[in-house]
Structure 1
């Protein structure tokens, strides 16, 4: 059983739209009713498929690292505009 990392791009009707990392060009649609963990748009998750069921784990360390990278980029942009 293998897993892949995804970013939750958005909720679209009854589905959650995940983008496969790192390129984020491949989509995975999962019905909201199959998602048993609390997630929000932008979260990075690990998804395993097992016998037609999806096992989703929120990767909080990856989310925090992504937020830090964004903050650093924003700081660089602000510093360049001075």
Structure 2
């Protein structure tokens, strides 16, 4: 059983495309049928591969922190 953090990048057809954190280079494709929680683009989740399927835990606080960092960077860029 392995546990990793991912960002939901997008949905393509029947698949969700997750990017492994923190580098977000490595992709993980999971069929929508195998996702047992409601997710939206940009969600940060811990995904456990149980060997028989996946378990998802949504990290709401980490997503909010990431959004706050992005907003702060955007504001900094606007002021330049």
Whole-Å Cα distance in 2 between the matches of residues 24 and 78 of structure 1?
26
**TM-score normalised to the size of structure 2?**
0.94
1:16-59 deviation digits (Å, cap 9, x = unpaired): 00011111111111000111111011111100011221001110
Q: Give the 5 Å matches for 1:34-49.
A: 34-49=34-49
In structure 1, the gaps of 5 or more residues are none
1:25 maps to what in 2? 25
Whole-Å Cα distance in 2 between the matches of residues 77 and 25 of structure 1?
25
1:50 maps to what in 2? 50
Larger Rg: 1 or 2? 1
Q: What is the number of residues matched between the two proteins?
A: 80
Whole-Å Cα distance in 2 between the matches of residues 53 and 7 of structure 1?
18
Q: CA deviation at 1:79?
A: 1.3
Q: Kindly report the root-mean-square deviation, in angstroms, between the aligned alpha carbons of the 2 structures.
A: 0.9
Give the ranges of 4+ consecutive aligned residues of structure 1 lying more than 3 Å apart after TM superposition: none
